Each structure stands twice: as C-alpha cells, then as structure tokens.
Structure 1
C-alpha cells in the first residue's frame, strides 16, 4: 500500500521538492552570471549576430549596395547550388575524408589513453603525455611545413631514397595518398588532446573494480573490456556525436594550405569551396546558400546521433526530458 498524505505529513515519505523561482535563482547565482557575461557577449557579437547576414542567401547580394538594397531572388541560389557539379564534388570529398578519419583517427586517442594509463611510473606517464600533447599547440602552417620537409619532393625521405638508389617519392603532391597524409597530420597534431580527455575519464574509475576483477581471475584484456571500456562509453559517445556534428567541417586551414599541391578534385571540401566561391570569386549569395545547407545537414547529424545515444541508454549532448 502506498503511504497517503498523512504518512507524508508524519515524515515517512520523501520531503516535497521546493520549486525555486526565477527571481530567487537570479539573486542566488548573480555572481556566476556576471563571470560568464563577457563570454556570452563575445559569443553574441561574433557568433550569433553575424548569423543575421545569412539572409543574403535569398538575395543577389552586392557589397556595394548592402543587404538592404540588394534584390531578393528567393530560392534561386539554392537551386544553383544543387545544380552545380563542383558542389557535389566538394560534398563527396568532405564525406570521404570524414569517414576515413572517423575510422582511422577517432580510435587513436582512446588507444593512447589506455596505453598511457597502464604506465605505472607517474614521471614517465607525465613526460609521454607532454610530448604527445605538444603538437596540439602548433599551427597548421607549421605542421604542413614539417611534413613538407620530411615527405616533400626535396624532403628528408626523398633524399634518403635517391641516395640509396631508389626512385623519388613525393607524398605531398600525390592525390592517391592524400587521405593518408592529412589523417596522419591530424593524428600527429590532435591525438594528444583527445588522449587527455579520455585520461580524465579513466581517472574516475574506482581502482577497487580492477582489484576485484583480478581476484576473480580476469586478465588485462578482460579488465579493459568489462571495466575500462564501459566506463569510457559515455565520453566516447559524446565525442562521437560532436565529431559527427562537425563532420562537414574538416580542416579548412589544413586543406586550404595543401589544395594547390594535389588539386581541387582531391582536396576541395565544403569550407574551401565556400571560401573560393564567396571570398575569392565574389559570389557571396551562392556561397551563403552552400554554407547554410552545410549547417542544416550538420544539425541533422547531431540530432540523429544524439537520438541514437538515447536509444542505447546514454545522455548524449543533452538529456531527454523524463516523463
């Protein structure tokens, strides 16, 4: 039998939740709100206010007359986007690079975190972590330059091959190896950053779980499979959702720097396509329409991946409202 109102009054049941009004929350949290106000202001000025300029996707925009005076053309720019073969070529390159890096780059930080977490010496672990994390602070100009000095036509690898009687090999200008090249650059630069995130998740695992599993006879691989990976699953799913949401934005600066070496047929992605069409060619309205389509698809990928996360019992980017 359920306890009635009388039992609740006697204190047998849980106390009723007290609803905090908006005014009380503002008075309580005003120091925190003041602290985040500069960040919110920057976000509004540099992220949300410029979104109003997307209206030029429905105009024949000219910077000489401005948004208010540019004529409206309706959905004509979007029709041009769908009818342009070069746009679909950029979409294909973007999806190919994203899928390739999702398979060959995304697991690398997880593997590095598992390996580094198994190192018993804190000094060695800290040293390795610092070395692997350091390239994250390098600009893409520096990263591409380093790879050029090693793998380029006049690079170290090519000189060693020629000196030993082998043919020359210029990986930096070979379209057939471009996917491997940019993925290796991505791994070298950013795998250390992802590793730190997973190391933070690993630090939350209770060591007694490993001790109990070892007592029960579980080996290292079974402990990883039944303890470590389930503990990492929420973090893996969250980062995977964010990665899918960013799927159509793949290394603008990285690819822009190397586009001329392998050609637009291999290195042209949506971001570089919008840049060349809008900024360099001056077709602002067409570029805005292409950028808006990219944003809509990215939003759909985030919502779809988040829905899948809810279906497997994870919170995802945001939690479902419990009914």
Structure 2
C-alpha cells in the first residue's frame, strides 16, 4: 500500500505544479512574491480598525491637532532659506540658502541669546524638574488622605492661572514702589529692594515663578508612577527593618526611574524654549541684557521688524538644537539600560 500512496502523492504534486505553470503561462505574468504578505497586512489592519474603532475615534482629535498645527506648518521653515516676501509667496521668493543662518551666527546678539536661554533652561532643569519629584515623594509619605488631598489641591491651583496673572501677582509682591514685601521691609526699618529691575536676580526670579506655577502640577505623573509600585515590596522592606528614607532610596526612586528618564529626555528637547509669555511679561529695559532669549528675539525681529526669513532661521536653529539633544539623550538612556522615548 505504501508504494501506491507514494506514487499518488508524487503524481498529485506534479499535476499541481503543471497546472500552476500552465496558469502562469496563460496569464502572461507571474504572481508577485510579496502579494500574499501585503494582503495579510491590509486584512489585519482592517480587522484592527474594526475591532478598536472606538479607540481610534478617541485618538482622532489629538492626531488632527498634531497634523494641522505641528506637521502642516513645518512647510513654513522653507522661508528660512529664502528672502521671503509675502506678496511673492514661498514659490516666488528668492532662494538664498544658509545666508540667514550665517548672518545670525555672526551677529553680536547670538552669544547673548545663547547664554541667557541656556542659563534659564539649566536653572529650570535643576529646580523645576527636581521639585515635582521631591513634592511627589513627600506627598506619598503622608498618611492622612484628607490632608494629602488638601495639599494637592493647593499646590495644583497655580497651574490654572495664566502668566498674566502670575506676572501681576509678582508686581504686587515685589514691586519697589507698591510691592507688599518692600512695604513690609520699610515698616521694619529696612531699605527697599529693587527685585524686578535687578539683572542679578532675574534668572532666579523667573525660575521660581515657573516652579511655583507648574511644580505642583508636575507631581501628577510621578505620583501615578509611585502608585504603580508593588506595595508588597514596601512590606518586605519594613520587615527587614528599612526605614522610610531607606524605602524611598532603594524602592521608590528606582521604581520611578524610567519615568524620570523619559521626562528628562523630553525636557531636554525644550531646553531652548524657556517660554515666551513669561519672559515677555517680565521683560523691561533694566534687565534686557539678561532677559533677551531666542523667543523674545524672534518676536522682536520677526513680528515687530518684519524680518520673516531671518526670524524663521533663528527658530529653526533652536528646534534643531532641541532635536539633537533629544536624540543624544535617548541614545545615552538606551546605553544605560533604560527604555528611552522610542
């Protein structure tokens, strides 16, 4: 029986091969090797869209926002390489290459802008990034849930205030003429202090403003990361005699290290973006040497003076620096064993 079966199988295979060859000759063309894989891919994609259509609809507004306001305007960076005139448009303006970049790098303001922006960004990175971590660790140690919620509500509230209100409160508190703190100093027999027009204290002033406004709101991510740590690890540590500080150092901080690394990488991408609105509101002639940053410079030369191509080149340079820092920081995080952003 086995020889007969072997013979039948061979014959059937040969027949199929012959039939396939004849079909190929009849069609006049061969089937593409990757067509079946492509069909499987599109079929799985369609089934995924049908299965998770509610999730895709939920993500659609966010995708449209990024497409319309982040990706579509990227075509505008082309005017950084042109002598752009609004009446001629992007297609009719003269192409000048990297002339605006060379002009910016050779300008005397370049070193000033780079110094001020980098100094404020490093202060924000040192204080504004670390304060939410410390606050989250402190809130996590509170045992009274009522007190914890009250503290969270109080420190979250400044996030919902605009920078105009924050600047107004700063003037009311630190103004030399009508400021509350200077009034208290004068009542105590001490001389008034010029906080708002002192170049030596401007960088620290805007950094403390950012910490007060956004420091509490930044704790949300870290509190969520802490909540994801297994409570049994803390119980085992307490059984072994570890105190609270030991638990924070050996359990909590390692448990949120991945979140800290990711947020740090993203923060490095904005190191050249110190916030136009805050600096613009706190800007005055007495502190212009330390308050002029890339964002205010772009506004001054681009909007007020109408140098659209030159200001676009400045903004593009700032964005490229941020992209390079993100790529380098992500690569470094990968080498250190962290997940990174991508």
TM-score (norm 2): 0.84
Distance in 2 (alpha carbons) for counterparts of 1:201 and 1:251: 27
SS at match of 1:295: helix
For the Cα contact (< 8 Å) 1:172–1:261, is it kept in 2? Answer: no
Show the counterpart of 2:234: 210
Show the counterpart of 1:245: 269
More off after superposition, 206-215 vs 277-286:
206-215
Deviations 1:289-320 (CA, angstroms, capped at 9, x unpaired): 111111111001001111111112111111xx
Show the counterpart of 1:57: 80
Shift of 1:70: 1.4
Shift of 1:254: 0.4
Show the counterpart of 1:289: 313
SS at match of 1:67: helix
For the Cα contact (< 8 Å) 2:133–2:219, is it kept in 1? Answer: yes
CA 307–144 in structure 1, closer or farther in 2 if over 3 Å, else same: same
CA 204–38 in structure 1, closer or farther in 2 if over 3 Å, else same: closer
For the Cα contact (< 8 Å) 1:78–1:290, is it kept in 2? Answer: yes
For these two proteins, the number of residue pairs brought into alignment is 301
Matched, 1:155 2:179: yes
Shift of 1:49: 1.1
Shift of 1:237: 0.6
Matched, 1:30 2:73: no
- The aligned runs of 1:153-302 (5 Å cut-off) are 153=176, 154-260=178-284, 262-302=286-326
Show the counterpart of 2:5: none
Shift of 1:244: 0.4
Distance in 1 (alpha carbons) for counterparts of 2:231 and 2:216: 24
Shift of 1:261: 5.1
TM-score (norm 1): 0.89
Distance in 2 (alpha carbons) for counterparts of 1:179 and 1:100: 8
SS at match of 1:193: coil
Shift of 1:38: 3.0
1:119 to 142, 145, 153: 142
Greater radius of gyration (CA): 2
Deviations 1:168-196 (CA, angstroms, capped at 9, x unpaired): 11211111011211111011100111111
Structure 2 gaps of 5+ residues are: 1-39
CA 182–257 in structure 1, closer or farther in 2 if over 3 Å, else same: same
CA 49–88 in structure 1, closer or farther in 2 if over 3 Å, else same: same
Deviations 1:75-117 (CA, angstroms, capped at 9, x unpaired): 1111111111212211111111111221122111111111111
Deviations 1:274-301 (CA, angstroms, capped at 9, x unpaired): 1111111111101111111111110010
Shift of 1:36: 2.4
Give me the CA root mean square deviation.
1.6
1:307 to 312, 317, 331: 331
More off after superposition, 27-36 vs 102-111:
27-36
Matched, 1:131 2:151: no
Show the counterpart of 1:11: none
Show the counterpart of 1:91: 114
Distance in 2 (alpha carbons) for counterparts of 1:30 and 1:87: 50
For the Cα contact (< 8 Å) 2:198–2:287, is it kept in 1? Answer: no
For the Cα contact (< 8 Å) 1:213–1:223, is it kept in 2? Answer: yes
Show the counterpart of 1:13: none
SS at match of 1:173: coil
